[in-house]
Structure formats: C-alpha cells, structure tokens
C-alpha cells in the first residue's frame, strides 16, 4: 500500500521517466504511466462529439487544483514529459471561468471565488457570493441542486471528500445555508435563520443526512457527533439521526469494505475527526534561500485505518451502481490540494493531487465497463503555487519557496507568494481546466463557465 516512487537515479531524465513504472499512493492496482501497455482500463475514447445519454455521472473535483497544481504534481511524480494516468487521460478538455458575485451587488463579479460560491455554480447553475452554500446572493433563497434533481428522478447519489463532509464542496450538493461555517448543529451562530429550532433546514450535517444521500464518505466526525438543537432528533447526535434514518455508520476502511452493495442500505463513513490525514509530507516553504532539494515522504502520521480517496471512490461506485433503472450521481473531492496550497506545503499538496489522480483512475476503470457514464474532472478555483526559475541573491521571490526533486531527477522550485510568510495563502481568480469523457463530454470543450457544468449534467442525464 505504501509503494512510492523510487528516488531518481543518475540516468537521464527521459530514461528515468520511462523507468518509472507506477504512480501509486495506496491504491491496490497501480496503472502503468506508459499509456496503453498493461493498463487495466481502456483509454477514454471520447474525442470531440460525444452523443447519447448518461445513466451515471462521476464528478471529480480537485479543490484549488489549477493548472499549476497539476503541473507541480506531474513534474514530481512522472516528470515533465510524463503524463498522469488519471488527470491527463482525457481528450475533451476546456477551461471554465470561476468568478463569484458580490453579496451586496449580485450583478457584479467577485473575481476570486471560494469553494462555497464556486461549488454552488456547478451544483445549481447559478452564481452566488463567497461563503454561501446553494443559496442566492443578497436574497438567501434556496437553489435546487443537481443532487436533489437526480434524487427526485430516482437516481442514487453519493458525496465523497477528503475534507470534513460538511466542508463547502460536499455541502453544496445536499444543503442550503447562508454561511459555509454552519457545519454542525453547534456551529449555527452565523446563520440562525437556518437552524431547525428557528424553522430552518438545520446545519449542513443535518441536511446531508435529511437529504438521504445514499453514500456519504469523508472526514468530519466532529460535526456529526454534535447534538441536534431542534426538530425531531433534538438532543441526539447527527450520527444517531443518520442511524435512525437507516444509515450504516462506519469509521474505518475495514468496516467500509464490509458494507454490502445490496439490498441497498445507505452508508455514512466518517474516518477522521476533522479533515482526513495527508498522504505525503516534506520540507516547508520558507523565504529565500529556501531548502536543499528533497523528495517527499509518506506521511507516517496518517491514520492507518482510514481509507484512501481511491478506496472510497471504488466503494462508492460499488454501492451506487445498479444494473437496471435510474443510475447515480457521485461527486468525489480531492479537498486538501487547496488546504495544503493555503499552508504552502508542497508535498502535502502533491500527495493529495496524486491521490486524487488515483481516484480518477478508479472512475475511469468503472467507465470502461459502464460506458454510459459521464466522467468530469475539474477544479473550483486557482491557487497559489507557481513553478519558478532558479532564485538568486538579487532576484528571488519575496514569498516562500520550497525545492523538491522531481521524477526527472531535477530540482523544482515552487513559490508561494500570495500572502505573508506563515499566513494562509490565497485563492486566485484564474480560469481552470475542465475535462470529461463519456456521453455529452464535448460540452466541456472551449471556454465555458462553472455554472454551465450544471446544464451539462442535466443534459447528459436527460433531467
């Protein structure tokens, strides 16, 4: 499970790139990087026009995964001339704009979005202001989400993340609150109107359970163990609420693996108190002159009983997949690409990007045997990390830098300079990559907007 890229040898970069057989962070079946030979899934064949209807949608969301974050991970893991077997496997590719709108002037753009407003974009097809979860800017009205629409059509639904399940990206599909911080029943100070005792739908955790999302996997026990303060389950935890509503509750990879695919029963899997642990660790980014070049290492402090993102993805697909009738809508988030970009932690960021890549590989493997599945991979906003030139005494970044040795055996200097040293780095307002394969995947091509993805889902599913 801990198979990790070998240290680069002294051979030339091309030889090293070719010699690297696998990209593996804890997934059972590693996929050869060298495209076709030996792959356990067929390369996606959607090129250009992709007609037909999708029974299923798998939406992969890399939080804060701009082009730069993808390139950092690619250089590190497979070299500059290598290709990541998940992220780089798609032909139908576009860019989409991600801006939010202003709370006090909803007709005006806010150029840098957060995950709440951006997620609301693809979840509902509508722009909102930063911090809002599927509610309208200024007027605080609930917006119907693609998960709710899919559910109403009889589809199964899943929401998977390496963050707390109540974090913004998983939240936008199955809850409506005015402030993203309202994650558990004890966190409602910023949105009292949404609390159940005040006639609202409750915290994000309560709403996710009340939405009967069939598969909920991620972190965030600390939100779900809070006690309901209003409604039918007053005085009981959200976990107890879920169990009363028919959920199997699991907290380890082994227990998750033991859940049965049918007759179908809902699953709530919470594998950490807060966000799930990181895959990789390594040198910190600091002001010039920085650190000697180093490789990242496996995070020994990672909770051993927790599943990896690819494990959760594979299990979610197993639980959601049906032979007949309506299909499923599943979202899978690699959440801590963003969180480690904020923290200027390059190895943390790389490890989460590679774990996300492995989850995508699991999705593509499913699609290979279920071609009526639309797979979309995108991000919610750009972020800080930039690959920069060699730094000198006279010319160097005023921010933090960190140097890692890539699969090419070369130093890669990564710069974090959207905030002061030691402070949280900032999102950026750039457009980001969107790729897709399967029915209607050509709709992501060209330059689109985040809200267009909601319409792509509806068109593909015929909803």
Q: Known catalytic residues?
A: 115
Q: For the chain, what is the radius of gyration of the CA atoms?
A: 21
Binding residues for Mg ion, how many (CB under 5 A)? Answer: 4
Q: Which of 238, 256, 276, 335 binds Mg ion (CB under 5 A)?
A: 335
- Which of Mg ion, Zn ion, none binds 169 (CB below 5-8 Å, type-dependent)? Mg ion
Quick check: 63 binds Mg ion (CB under 5 A)? yes
Q: Which of 97, 113, 115, 203 binds Mg ion (CB under 5 A)?
A: 115
Residues at the contact surface with Zn ion, assessed by CB under 5 A: 338
Quick check: 130 binds Mg ion (CB under 5 A)? no
Closest distance to Zn ion from the beta carbon of 381 (Å): 7
CA angle 45, 381, 151 (to 5 degrees): 65
Q: Kindly tell me which of 124 and 428 has the beta carbon lying closer to Zn ion.
A: 428
Q: Cα(65)–Cα(427) distance, rounded to whole angstroms?
A: 10
Quick check: 136 binds Mg ion (CB under 5 A)? no
Q: Of 155-184, which residues contact Mg ion (CB under 5 A)?
A: 169
Closest distance to Zn ion from the beta carbon of 179 (Å): 16
Closest distance to Mg ion from the beta carbon of 122 (Å): 12
Quick check: 204 binds Mg ion (CB under 5 A)? no
Count of CB atoms situated within 10 Å of the CB of 170 = 31
Closest distance to Zn ion from the beta carbon of 231 (Å): 31
SS3 call for 169:
helix
For tokens 């798609």, the residue is 90
Q: Kindly tell me which of 194 and 338 has the beta carbon lying closer to Zn ion.
A: 338
Omega into 256 within 30° of 0, i.e. cis?
A: no
Nearest-CB residue for Mg ion: 169
Q: Cα(332)–Cα(313) distance, rounded to whole angstroms?
A: 7
Q: Cα(150)–Cα(431) distance, rounded to whole angstroms?
A: 28
What CA–CA distances, in Å, run from 124 to 73, 145, 175, 228, 275?
31, 5, 11, 27, 25
- Burial environment of residue 258 by CB neighbours within 10 A (0 to 12, 13 to 18, 19 or more): exposed
Q: Kindly tell me which of 115 and 135 has the beta carbon lying closer to Mg ion.
A: 115
Quick check: 69 binds Mg ion (CB under 5 A)? no
Q: Kindly tell me which of 338 and 352 has the beta carbon lying closer to Zn ion.
A: 338
- Burial environment of residue 419 by CB neighbours within 10 A (0 to 12, 13 to 18, 19 or more): middle
Closest distance to Zn ion from the beta carbon of 420 (Å): 17
Contacting positions for Mg ion (CB under 5 A): 63, 115, 169, 335
């Amino acid at each position: 499970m801990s198979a990790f890229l070998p240290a680069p040898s002294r051979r030339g970069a091309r030889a090293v790139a070719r010699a690297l057989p696998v990209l593996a962070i804890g997934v059972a079946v590693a996929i050869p990087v060298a495209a076709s030979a030996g792959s356990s899934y067929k390369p996606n064949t959607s090129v250009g026009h992709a007609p037909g209807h999708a029974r299923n949608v798998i939406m992969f969301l890399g939080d804060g995964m701009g082009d730069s974050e993808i390139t950092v991970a690619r250089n590190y893991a497979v070299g500059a001339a290598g290709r990541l077997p998940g992220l780089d496997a798609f032909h139908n590719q576009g860019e989409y704009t991600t801006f939010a709108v202003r709370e006090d002037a909803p007709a005006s753009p806010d150029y840098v979005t957060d995950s709440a407003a951006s997620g609301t974009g693809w979840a509902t097809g509508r722009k909102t202001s930063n911090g809002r979860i599927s509610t309208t800017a200024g007027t605080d009205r609930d917006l119907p989400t693609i998960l709710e629409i899919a559910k109403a059509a009889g589809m199964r639904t899943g929401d998977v993340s390496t963050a707390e399940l109540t974090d913004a990206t998983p939240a936008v599909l199955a809850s409506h609150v005015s402030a993203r911080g309202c994650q558990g029943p004890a966190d409602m100070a910023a949105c009292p109107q949404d609390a159940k005792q005040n006639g609202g739908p409750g915290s994000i955790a309560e709403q996710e359970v009340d939405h009967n999302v069939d598969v909920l996997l991620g972190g965030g026990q600390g939100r779900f163990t809070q006690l309901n303060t209003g409604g039918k389950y007053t005085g009981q935890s959200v976990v107890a609420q879920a169990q009363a509503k028919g959920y199997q509750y699991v907290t380890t990879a082994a227990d998750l693996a033991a859940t049965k695919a049918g007759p179908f029963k809902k699953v709530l899997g919470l594998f950490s108190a807060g966000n799930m642990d990181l895959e990789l660790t390594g040198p910190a980014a600091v002001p010039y002159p920085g650190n000697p070049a180093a490789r990242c290492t496996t995070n020994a402090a990672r909770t051993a009983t927790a599943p990896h993102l690819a494990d959760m993805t594979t299990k979610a697909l197993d639980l959601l997949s049906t032979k007949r009738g309506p299909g499923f809508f599943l979202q899978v988030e690699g959440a801590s690409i963003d969180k480690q970009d904020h923290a200027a932690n390059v190895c943390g960021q790389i490890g989460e990007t590679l774990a996300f890549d492995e989850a995508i590989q699991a999705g593509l493997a499913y699609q290979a045997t279920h071609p009526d599945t639309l797979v979309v991979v995108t991000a919610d906003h750009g972020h800080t990390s930039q690959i920069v030139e060699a730094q000198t005494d006279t010319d160097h970044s005023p921010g933090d830098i960190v140097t890692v040795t890539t699969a090419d055996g070369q130093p890669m200097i990564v710069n974090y300079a959207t905030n002061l040293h030691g402070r949280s780095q900032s999102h950026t307002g750039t457009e980001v990559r969107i790729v897709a394969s399967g029915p209607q995947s050509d709709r992501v091509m060209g330059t689109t907007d985040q809200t267009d993805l909601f319409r792509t889902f509806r068109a593909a599913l015929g909803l």
